[in-house]
C-alpha cells in the first residue's frame, strides 16, 4: 500500500528549528525527511527496549544456572571425598538436592514473571 502524504503544520521553538535545520543540513536531507527519520527512530527505540528485556531474562537465567553448577560441584565433591558410608551420603546429598530443587523452583517463578512482564510490555508497545 502506497503512503498517502499529507501536509501538516506544527510549531517549533527557534532553538528546535535551528537544531532540525542543522541536523538536516548535516545529513543532506530536507527538514521533512529529517523529521520522518526522527519519528521512525522511535520504533528502533522500542526494539532496543525489547532487546534489553530479553537480555535481563537471559542474564538472570545465566546467574541461576551458575548457582546450580556450584551446587552440583558441591555434590560431586562430597560424593568423591567426604562420604564414606551410605548413611553419610544421604545426610550430605539430600539437603544439597533440596537446595537445588528450591533454587530451580525460585528460578522458574522469576523467569515466568519476567516473561509475563515482557509479554505485557510487548503488547502495549505494539499498540502504540
Tens digits of pLDDT across the chain (128 residues): 466 778 888 888 999 999 999 999 999 999 999 888 888 887 777 777 878 888 888 888 888 888 778 877 877 776 676 555 666 666 767 787 788 788 788 878 887 777 777 666 555 444 44
The pLDDT value recorded for residue 124 is 44
Q: Whole-angstrom Cα distance, residue 37 to residue 60?
A: 35
Size of the chain in residues: 128
Q: How far apart are CA 34 and CA 22, in angstroms?
A: 10
Nearest CA-CA partner of 56 in 126, 113, 124, 123? 113
Residue with cell 551446587: 71
pTM given for the model = 0.38
Nearest to 94 by CA among 109, 78, 112, 105: 78
The pLDDT of residue 19 is 92
pLDDT value at residue 99: 80
Give the pLDDT score at 22. 93
pLDDT confidence of residue 85? 63
In sequence order, the 6+-apart residues with CB closer than 8 A to the CB of 23 are 34
Instruction: Provide the pLDDT for residue 118.
Output: 64
Angle (CA) 115-116-120 rounded to 5° is 115
Amino acid at each position: 500500500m502506497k503512503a498517502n502524504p499529507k501536509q501538516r503544520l506544527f510549531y517549533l521553538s527557534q532553538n528546535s528549528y535551528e537544531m532540525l535545520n542543522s541536523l538536516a543540513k548535516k545529513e543532506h536531507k530536507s527538514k521533512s525527511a529529517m523529521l520522518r527519520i526522527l519519528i521512525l527512530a522511535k520504533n528502533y527505540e522500542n526494539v532496543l527496549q525489547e532487546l534489553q528485556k530479553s537480555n535481563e531474562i537471559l542474564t538472570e537465567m545465566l546467574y541461576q544456572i551458575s548457582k546450580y553448577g556450584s551446587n552440583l560441584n558441591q555434590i560431586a565433591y562430597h560424593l568423591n571425598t567426604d562420604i564414606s558410608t551410605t548413611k553419610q551420603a544421604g545426610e550430605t546429598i539430600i539437603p544439597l538436592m533440596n537446595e537445588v530443587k528450591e533454587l530451580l523452583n525460585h528460578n522458574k517463578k522469576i523467569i515466568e514473571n519476567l516473561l509475563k512482564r515482557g509479554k505485557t510490555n510487548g503488547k502495549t508497545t505494539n499498540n502504540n
